[in-house]
Amino acid sequence: MITIQKVESKADLKRFVKFPFTLYKNSPYWVPPIIKDEMESFNSDKNPAFQNAEATFFMAFKDKKPVGRVAAIINWLEVKEQKLLKMRFGWFDFVDDLEVSKALLDKVASIGKENNLDYMEGPVGFSNLDKVGVLIDGFDHIGTMITWYNHSYYQSHYEHHGLVKEKEYLENKFLFASADPKIFTKANLLIKKRYGLKEMNFTKSEEIMPWVDKMFDLFNETYSKLSSFVKVTDVQKEYFKKKYISFINPEYIKFVVDSDNNLVAFAIVMPSFSKALQKANGKLFPTGIFHLLKAKKHSKDVIFYLIGIHPDYQNKGVTAIIFNEYYKVFLERGIENCIRTPELEDNVAIRQMWKSFNPVTHKRRRTYRKDLI
C-alpha cells in the first residue's frame, strides 16, 4: 500500500532531500547536490522565491520505506501577473512503480484544483533560474549541478498517467578545440567600432558586485518574451548575488557596455563541478569543499550558464565580443569541453548564435502538462 506524507519537520525535509542519494546510489551520471544548500533552498525564511511562491513537499512510502518525493509549487507572480493558471511541480523522483508516481501526481493535482488552477506542468522549479525538465535522452552523460538527472523509466510514467509534452529542451556541447577564432576575432573589432561598444573583464568578485543588479535587469529584458518567463525580483537579485557570484571565477563573467557604460550584454560561465560534487557526496566537510575549490581552479570543462543581450542589440553580432574574450581565457586555462545549459527547442536564435562551433546535442529533456479542468 502506498501512503503519502506531507513534509512537516526539518527531519522530514532532510529525508526528502536525501531520497535521491539512495535512488541513484550506484549511478556514475547522477550529480548530488550539497545537502545543506538544498535544505536552505526549501527554507521559506532563506529563499526569497517564497515571497511570491508557495510550495508543499510530499514523500511516498511503501511498507514504511521511502519510495518517492515531489514538490508542489504555485508561483503567484506567474498566476496573478501573467494570468498563467499553472500548478508547478518539481523535485519529482520515484522508484519504478506506477502506483507511486500516480499517488504523488494526484497530490499535486489536488492542490492545483483547490486553487482553481487550469493545468499542472513539471518538472520545474520556483523560477526560470531553477532546474527544469525530465531527461528523456542522454542518460549516459554525466549531469551538471544545474540540471536534474533521472532514470530512463521516468518518461513512461509521465505518459502513462496522461501527461503530454509541454516544452522540450536541448543540451548541447562542443570541443573548445573546434572553436575557430577567425570566426569572431575580426567580427569582434567591427562590432565594437560600429556600435561604440567595449568589453569588460574582471579579476575579483567584488568588481562584479556593483553590476549584478543591472545584469539581472538585462536578464529580465532579454527573456521576457519567452514562454512562462518569470522575472527575477529585487529580493532574488540579492539572494543570487550572495549565493552564487562569489562561487564563479570572476574571469568567467563577461560584460559588454556602450559608450555611456550602459550594460548591453553579459555572459556567465561556470567551471564544471560535477565530478567534485560526486566526490563530496552531499557534504562540504570535511573534504567536499576542497574538491569544489580544486574544480573551480582546475576543471577543464565549463558550462555556459547564462547569456543576455539587450533587445536593441540582438542579431547584431554582439556575441562575437563575448566569444572573443572567452576564447582568450579558455586558451590560457586549457579548457577542453564547453557545455550549454538546457535551451528551448524552439529558440532558433540561440541555435544560430552557436552554429559556428559545431555543437552536438547530447541530451534532451521535457516538461509535461496535464489539464486540471
- 59 in any annotated domain: yes
- 147 in any annotated domain: yes
Same domain, 216 and 329: yes
Three-state DSSP class for 34? coil
Same domain, 118 and 183: no
33: preceding bond cis by omega (within 30 degrees):
no
- 257 in any annotated domain: yes
From 133, 152, 172, the end of a domain falls on: 172
Place of cell 568567467: 252
Helix segments in 115-257, DSSP class H: 154-160, 182-195, 205-208, 212-223, 234-244
286: preceding bond cis by omega (within 30 degrees):
yes
| pLDDT value, residue 363 | 98
As to burial, measured by CB atoms within 10 angstroms (0-12 exposed, 13-18 middle, 19+ buried), residue 144 is buried
Task: Name the average pLDDT for the chain.
Answer: 94
- 11 in any annotated domain: yes
**C-alpha to C-alpha distance for 17 and 168, rounded to whole angstroms:** 26
**C-alpha to C-alpha distance for 371 and 154, rounded to whole angstroms:** 20
**Number of domain units in the chain:** 2
A 10 A CB-CB count for 279 gives: 15
204 lies in which domain range?
174-362
124 touches 108 (CB < 8 A): no
Same domain, 144 and 269: no
Per-residue pLDDT of the chain in tens (373 residues, 90 and over written 9): 999 999 999 999 999 999 999 999 989 999 999 999 999 999 999 999 999 999 999 999 999 999 999 999 999 999 998 899 999 999 999 999 999 999 999 999 999 999 999 999 999 999 878 999 999 999 999 999 999 999 999 999 999 999 999 999 999 999 999 888 988 999 999 999 999 999 999 999 999 999 999 999 999 998 887 766 778 888 888 888 887 887 799 999 999 999 999 999 999 999 999 999 999 999 999 999 999 999 999 999 999 999 999 999 998 999 999 999 999 999 999 999 999 999 999 888 888 888 889 999 999 999 999 999 9
Closest CA to 127 of 10, 17, 6, 237: 237
Same domain, 116 and 132: yes
- 372 in any annotated domain: no
Same domain, 37 and 166: yes
| pLDDT value, residue 228 | 63
| pLDDT tens profile 293-331 | 999 999 999 999 999 999 999 989 999 999 999 999 999
Same domain, 165 and 197: no
Beta-bridge partner residues of 4: 60
Q: How many residues are given for the chain?
A: 373
Pairing of strands 65-75, 53-62: antiparallel
| pLDDT tens profile 52-61 | 999 999 999 9
| pLDDT value, residue 150 | 98
- 369 in any annotated domain: no
Closest CA to 69 of 79, 59, 61: 59
Using a cut of 0.85, tell me whether the model's pTM lies above it: yes
Same domain, 139 and 223: no
- Supply the CATH number for residue 338's domain: 3.40.630.30
**C-alpha to C-alpha distance for 154 and 23, rounded to whole angstroms:** 13
